[in-house]
Structure 1
Amino acid sequence: MLKELIIDEYGINLHKVSERLVIKKQGKVVEEHAIKELQDLVIGNKCGMFSISLLQELIKNGAQVHFVDFKEEPFSTLYTPAHHGSVKARREQLRGYHDERGIELSKEILTAKIQNQINTLKYFLKSRKELPMADELRDQTEAMKMYIRKIREVEGTSIENVRSEIISLEAHAAKRYWKGVKIILTEKGIEFQGRGWHLQDPVNMMLNYGYAILRTRVTSAIIRAGLETYAGFFHVDRSGRISFVLDVMEIFRPSIVDRPIISLITRGHKPKTEEKEDGSVFLDNRTLKLLREYLHERLEAKEEFKGNDYHLRTIVQLQAREIATYFREGKKFKGYISRW
């Protein structure tokens, strides 16, 4: 199985020796990996030297190289042009914006997201059935089911006609979900005012960090599936915005990011912040280390999907390929639903 390699440590230099990626620190070899076994290489801004011959060999073998900053925000992705060698899926993806296919895909993505939010709350409810919060968590999940039904009932001729309606319904479900998350975190003495990408509390910083990691993985999957990362449906077009990546991410946010973050906090970790080198305030190094470990473990966890057990990172890729098939062949797309 192809693997992902993450480089996020000061003083690391990457070289190509024969057909292997060699990692050196202070002139000494610390790791070696067969280049043909690598699917994704994620490089943080702490990395030192990176040889051009290594980059050439990685790209030639179909690996993607993602450069990210200290918040895991990707600022560049390099890959072979062969990933865009097949254009039929992209052509149909662009056409789908103007017909019912964009609506049906958006509805499936958002209903899968809401169901995964419900299952995330149910996951934490299992060990809290006897606590006073249990009834309130059940109330939130029951209310959220109504929005799944309402989204499925939406009809129209193109996504532009119904975007505001389905986004409004999803937002109402999200309010219920984040209220449930707040109930769970409050039990552990963690203040959480609600979800907002612009909010600077530690929990929202953790979520933003986790979503950045997920965004890199979904971008990789969409490129490999031959789809267009910028041609979204319910995330509106904006210069430089990978709208379709943001669309597809919605399926996986609750189970791949929210769940391990909530677990980390409910198991006793109290996230803290510190001032970084650029003067900004962000999560402290201990929180970042634990968070990366939890998210990596979650991506490597296996779940049953269509009768087989797969790593969650593999399920992300399978879903991207199924969306490509949906556009190419009209085969119905069914969003991944997590276990609880």
Structure 2
Amino acid sequence: MTRVLVVAAHGARIRVHRRSLVVESNGERMVAPLHEVDRVVVATSGVSVTSSAVRLLARSGVGIVFLDARGDPIVSLEPPWINAAAETRLAQYRASVENPLAYARAMVAAKLGNQAGLLRSLARRTGAAWLREEASEVEKLALRASSAASPEELRGVEARAARRYWGSLARLLPGGLGFRGRDHSSRDPVNTVLNYLYGVLYAEVFQALVVHGLDPYVGFLHALRPGSPALVYDYAEMFRASAVDSLVYSLFSSRGAPEVRVDPETGLLDRETRAELVKSLYQWLRRRAVDSRGQAEPLERHIRLYARRLAQSLRAGAEYQGFVEAWRP
């Protein structure tokens, strides 16, 4: 289980004392022994980290990620050792030119499989017969994605599944939330939280890919653009439903739905809300999930395992099987 230290207080300072991390903020002091920390997430601006702390974290194999107000990772500092990086990246570059569609199909089909699985799980929980029908339609599209003949066809199948999937979740969630479906630019609370938590998920995916020697900027479906981590976006698709969508549904469908505080001028979440969401996500990533192979692991471990399997698949030139959760009620 990954133990994550989240620092979300503006003006906080992170330093080292006797092989422990010390976080000081507003006159308060928290001490975290280094052996109890696997990852540090800085979820706000105005936080300082001493060079001694950075060096000690690097030597101890602990990564640090800095998030902006939208939840997007600004920078991720990882330990300076990577497994089979040269061989893996050469194979990745070759596959991105010679056979990108095979990997894109595997990831999109897995994404749609998880969307269908979540809808089927919600159908069992709510007793809504129409949800089972929607889940079946998305499952059919997942099969079509696995045999798409071109990137254009694959994107078309993905878009059709998205309309059914997000339309179903919109019908389930309380109407007062103003959620009409997935819209990156919408300022309704559900879309705002989705945007933020996807950014945090990208940070975790980035770390998993880099540690296993993969180049996060060279993907198979998302376009190659300077500074855009295309493989992060491709790979994260497989984990969106399990890691974020199911959490967001759980938060907003319960009686104790979170108070989402948004700055009316910027449309961004305030610091307190961001801190609460980051903590909720890391708790959610610790839940045990069974994959299609029958392997039960915390979700955070599946993110790392499937990155390792992707690297192995590329080096061997073998078929890649994406992450699909065996959803339960």
Query: Which residue of structure 1 lines up, in the alignment, with residue 267 of structure 2?
Result: 281
Farther-moved stretch of structure 1 (302-311 vs 209-218)? 302-311
Q: Are 1:304 and 2:290 counterparts?
A: yes
Out of 231, 235, 238, the residue aligned to residue 244 of structure 1 is 231
Matches of residues 157-196 of structure 1 in structure 2 within 5 Å?
A: 162-186=150-174, 189-196=176-183
What letter matches 1:104 in structure 2?
A: A
TM-score (norm 2): 0.91
Separation in 2, partners of 1:286, 1:60? 31
Query: Which residue of structure 2 lines up, in the alignment, with residue 159 of structure 1?
Result: none
Separation in 2, partners of 1:317, 1:211? 17
What letter matches 1:12 in structure 2?
A: A
* Alpha-carbon contact 1:271-1:283 (below 8 Å) kept: no
* Alpha-carbon contact 1:265-1:271 (below 8 Å) kept: no
Query: Which residue of structure 2 lines up, in the alignment, with residue 87 of structure 1?
Result: 86
Query: Which residue of structure 2 lines up, in the alignment, with residue 32 of structure 1?
Result: 32
Query: Which residue of structure 1 lines up, in the alignment, with residue 111 of structure 2?
Result: 113
Alignment partner of 2:66: what SS?
Answer: strand
What letter matches 2:161 in structure 1?
A: A
Q: By how many angstroms is 1:72 displaced?
A: 1.9
Alignment partner of 1:282: what SS?
Answer: coil
Q: Are 1:231 and 2:218 counterparts?
A: yes
Separation in 2, partners of 1:96, 1:319? 17
State the number of aligned residues: 325
Out of 135, 138, 144, the residue aligned to residue 141 of structure 1 is 135
Separation in 2, partners of 1:149, 1:88? 32
Q: By how many angstroms is 1:40 displaced?
A: 2.1
Separation in 2, partners of 1:39, 1:212? 20
Q: Are 1:207 and 2:206 counterparts?
A: no
Alignment partner of 1:6: what SS?
Answer: strand
Out of 236, 249, 264, the residue aligned to residue 262 of structure 1 is 249
Q: What is the aligned-residue RMSD (CA, Å)? A: 2.2
Q: By how many angstroms is 1:307 displaced?
A: 4.4
Q: Are 1:336 and 2:323 counterparts?
A: yes
TM-score (norm 1): 0.88
1:295-334 CA-to-partner distances (Å, cap 9, x unmatched) read 2221111123444432111110111110000011234322
Farther-moved stretch of structure 1 (41-50 vs 254-263)? 41-50
Distance change (3 Å), C-alpha of 1:167 and 1:10 = same
Distance change (3 Å), C-alpha of 1:68 and 1:293 = closer
Q: By how many angstroms is 1:185 displaced?
A: 1.1
* Alpha-carbon contact 2:82-2:210 (below 8 Å) kept: yes
Separation in 1, partners of 2:323, 2:235? 11
Q: By how many angstroms is 1:283 displaced?
A: 3.4
Q: Using CA pairs below 8 Å that are at least 6 residues apart, which structure has the higher relative contact order?
A: 2
Q: By how many angstroms is 1:240 displaced?
A: 1.2
Separation in 1, partners of 2:295, 2:217? 31
* Alpha-carbon contact 1:7-1:44 (below 8 Å) kept: yes
Structure 1: 5+ residue stretches without partners: 156-161
Farther-moved stretch of structure 1 (87-96 vs 192-201)? 192-201
1:194-217 CA-to-partner distances (Å, cap 9, x unmatched) read 112122222110110110110110
Separation in 2, partners of 1:135, 1:300? 31
Separation in 2, partners of 1:29, 1:204? 35
Query: Which residue of structure 2 lines up, in the alignment, with residue 154 of structure 1?
Result: 148
Q: By how many angstroms is 1:181 displaced?
A: 0.7
Q: Are 1:13 and 2:20 counterparts?
A: no
Structure 2: 5+ residue stretches without partners: none
Out of 283, 288, 292, the residue aligned to residue 278 of structure 2 is 292
Separation in 1, partners of 2:27, 2:112? 50
What letter matches 2:209 in structure 1?
A: I
* Alpha-carbon contact 1:90-1:226 (below 8 Å) kept: yes
Out of 200, 204, 207, the residue aligned to residue 217 of structure 1 is 204
What is the percent sequence identity of the aligned residues? 26
